[in-house]
Amino acid sequence: MKSETQDIQQIFQDRRQYRVPFYQRAYVWDKEEQWDPLWNDIRDKADLRVNSDTTTPHFLGAIVLEPQPRRGLRGVEAYHIIDGQQRLTTLQYFLAALAMTLRANDVAALQTVIDGCLWNPNTDTMEKPEIECFKVWPTFRDREPYQEALKAMNRDELRSSFAVSFTQSGTLKKIGVDHPAALEAIWFFADQIDEWLSLFAGSERERALEHLAEATLRDFRVVAISLEENDDAQVIFETLNGRGAELNATDLIRNFIFMRADREDVDAGNLYDTLWTPFEGQFWIEEQRRGRLRKPRLEWFVQTALQAEMADTVEIGRLYNNYRRYGIGGRAPIPAETQLRMLTLHADQYRELISGNGNNPIGRFGRRMAVWDASPTHSLAIRVASLGLPEAAQTSIYNDIVSFIVRRTVCGLTTKNYNNVFLQLLKKFKGDEATASGFHTSLAALDGQASRWPRDDEFRRAWLNEPAHRNFGDVSRVRAVLTELENAMRTLRTEEPFTPTLGTLDVDHILPDKWYDHWPLRGETVTADEASNALLSSLGMSTPTARTERILLRERLKATLGNLTMVHYGVNRSLQNGPFPQKRERFFVESNLHLNRTLMRAENWDEEDIQKRGNALFETARTIWQSP
């Protein structure tokens, strides 16, 4: 590569165009972080020249350029901007603002010099003069406002081209409009130049403008690095952007794919428009939290897709390196289009999985798993959806995964090993084992506290005896289990076979959590203090009695699934701790939930009723979340 220090006039005066590759990010610099500091530096240099003080070069950093081959005699020299597009684009915005000011003040000689740094001459010898006339050609997302803004000869033309951005009095709106960066930058620089110029009067104004132009074109330097034929633009791009920086992992991945496309005989622009542009939508750029990390959803998706393809661990902190390893391939690099089609295929599956929409098996799986923090299962779920298995086989596999997670949750077993568990299952899910029966066998073979799939006996003990809220960790999971029970209890013979939306219902302890005032125990009132003392006796701090044993049994059973249902409290939340007859009339008699059918007819509700209902619900549960 060759490097040369050049001032701004040297950068822009030749008949050439600096092109931002379409796969790079859009223009993102703004007033506070970049425009204002740049203007302050330019103004300071201009002030030195006005005062006849000595000036020294001000370095703006480096730009990296890749010369593009030229076909035939027509056209201009073209360079891809590998690094530095934000800087070069901002300088064009400043020069456009300066050109407007020169026109407004009738400084024709300087106008010619500045125009020479904004426009390539001799359009009749260009292949595409409407494009090649510009010194900098931005990525397609910025092109329309960029062209309109640079073509504007004065502020009135800017107002006409961007009418929605201005008030009726002609000022730039401050709220309610997201201004194009090209307009906002040029308007900002024009305002700053006009404010500075107001310090000068008469003939001093033209001289001040000359100093400002000289300061801009001569006092600011960049190190222009031009790649040569054997230089690898991708490696250089990664070196500049891969360790810190402005670009996130998926920016680097995008550039990796399209630099590959540039080396292949494909229509890279069409690939971008059809296969990458969808990833720039709001769904993909929204940040999502996993543990302590917040990342754009696109990064989590690419991690998931890569793991599904490679059947190996992909660390989110090394996402680009892992993707590059995938893209380079084994014996030969994977073509850009193949990479993009892989991502597109998995993106459709991932969207269904995350949103829980659609009636494909993976969409139904996503709905069921929405509350279970099931990200460790995502790569496996994508893999299952990708192999062309019959829908019944996919559904069977997804049902096994749901059963595994729900049974372990009910039993109070740890989730800490799920990443390893599902990665190992993913690695096995290939060849002859990529079947529903093969997967079931692999999952059922897991053992140990951290990975076993609970059998019916363990599941039943926990269902009848374990406190649901403690083991589930979140009331939404209790609601999800109750909802699935309700679904299963409805059959096609019922008047309403499909469950209404239950997300707004309250999870209710039928026998209340605070039961002491209205729920006698064998006809005798129990105080809260007695319940506390009973708990102490269970810890060996006092001698238990038959009464304390009965209190402890009630305290234990009140939190089990046999005592939980769903109701709509509405304005009657205070009644949740009321006596059973009152709760039954208010909440259960008119309920259309099958979960509450037995409660409509019950005369009383105590420990025996809780255990009886718990057993009945368990028989339904074991058919939903089937045994290994």
In tens, the pLDDT along 15-45 reads 999 999 877 788 999 999 999 999 999 999 9
Average pLDDT over residues 49-54: 90
DSSP state of 431: G
Q: pLDDT band for position 56 (50/70/90)?
A: very high
* Residue 621 pLDDT exceeds 80: yes
DSSP reduced 3-state for 175: coil
Between the two ends of the chain, the Cα-to-Cα distance in Å is 63
**E strand or H helix at 295:** strand 293-296
Q: What DSSP assignment string belongs to 541-562?
A: SS---HHHHHHHHHHHHTTSGG
Task: Give residue 551's pLDDT.
Answer: 83
Please tell me the distance from the alpha carbon of residue 367 to that of residue 480, in angstroms, as a whole number.
Answer: 10
Q: Which residues contact 245 (CB under 8 A, 6 or more apart)?
A: none
Tell me what percent of the chain is helix, strand and coil, each rounded to the nearest 5.
60, 10, 35
Q: Give dist(CA 220, CA 6) in Å, integer.
A: 8
- Average pLDDT of span 369-384: 95
**Amino acid 514: pLDDT:** 86
Span of 83-92, 301-310, 397-406, 489-498 with lowest mean pLDDT: 489-498
Q: How far is CA 589 from CA 273, 479, 494, 505, 597, in A?
A: 58, 20, 18, 16, 8
3-state secondary structure (DSSP) of residue 371:
coil
Q: What pLDDT score does 562 carry?
A: 96
What is residue 227's predicted lDDT score, i.e. its pLDDT?
A: 85
Instruction: Answer for the pair 471, 526: CB distance below 8 angstroms, yes or no.
Output: no
Q: Per DSSP, what are the bridge partners of residue 4?
A: 224
Residue 165 CA to residue 183 CA, distance in Å, equals 9
Mean pLDDT, residues 50-71 taken together? 89
Report the pLDDT value the prediction gives residue 291, as an integer from 0 to 100.
Answer: 84
Q: Round the average pLDDT of the chain to a whole number and report it.
A: 90
Is the pLDDT at 500 greater than 60? The verdict is: no
- Which one has a higher pLDDT value, 546 or 194? 194
Secondary structure element (H or E) that encloses residue 564, with its range? strand 564-567
Q: Which residues, other chains included, contact 459 with Cβ-Cβ below 8 Å and sequence gap of 6+?
A: 407, 410, 411, 618, 621, 622, 625, 627
Sign of CA dihedral 549, 555, 556, 558: positive
Residue 9 and residue 101: Cα distance in Å, rounded? 18
DSSP 69-111: ---SSSS-EEEEEEE-HHHHHHHHHHHHHHHHHHHHTT-HHHH
Residues 6+ apart with CB under 8 A from 558: 509, 511, 512, 513, 515, 610
Cross-strand pairs, 2: 226
Residue 23 CB-half CA count within 13 A: 28
Record the tokens describing residue 583, joined without a space: 């709760």
pLDDT of residue 617 exceeding 50: yes
Cα 89-179-248 angle, rounded to 5 deg = 55
Q: What is the mean pLDDT of residues 3-9?
A: 95
Read off φ and ψ for residue 91, nearest 5 degrees. Answer: -65, -35
* Total length of the chain: 628
The predicted model scores a pTM of 0.75
% the chain with pLDDT above 90: 66
d(CA 365, CA 343): 20
pLDDT in the model for residue 390: 96
pLDDT of 499 higher than 80? no
Q: What is the pLDDT of residues 157-210, one digit of tens each?
A: 999 999 999 999 999 998 888 899 999 999 999 999 999 999 999 889 999 999
The SS3 of residue 210 is helix
**Which pLDDT score, from 0 to 100, does residue 232 have?**
62
Nearest-5° Cα angle at 289, 30 to 348: 90
- pLDDT level of residue 140 (50, 70, 90 thresholds): confident
Please determine, for residue 544, whether its predicted confidence score (pLDDT) is greater than 50: yes
Q: How far apart are CA 155 and CA 193, in angstroms?
A: 13
In this structure, what DSSP letter does residue 134 have? B
Task: State the pLDDT at residue 208.
Answer: 96
What tokens were used for 444? 């059922």
Cα dist from 566 to 22, 135, 483, 501, 595, whole Å:
54, 67, 9, 12, 8
- Between 70 and 295, where is the model more confident? 295
Residue pair 505/513 in contact (Cβ under 8 Å)? The answer is no
Residue 47 has pLDDT above 90, yes or no: yes
pLDDT at res. 248: 80
Taking only the tens place, the pLDDT of each residue in 586-615 is 888 878 888 998 898 888 899 999 999 999
Nearest to 146 by CA among 68, 133, 14, 61: 133
284, pLDDT greater than 80: yes
pLDDT score recorded for residue 307? 96
**Pair 532, 538: CB distance under 8 Å:** no
What is the residue whose two structure tokens read 């999971």? 477
> What's at 164, amino acid-wise?
V
Query: How far is residue 498's CA from residue 425's CA, in Å, rounded to a whole number?
Result: 34
Q: How confident is the model at residue 72 (pLDDT cuts 50, 70, 90)?
A: confident
- CB distance 241 to 79 below 8 Å: no
Residue 246's pLDDT is 53
Closest-CA residue to 234 (of 135, 158, 324, 317)? 324
For residue range 74-90, list pLDDT tens digits in order.
899 999 998 899 999 99
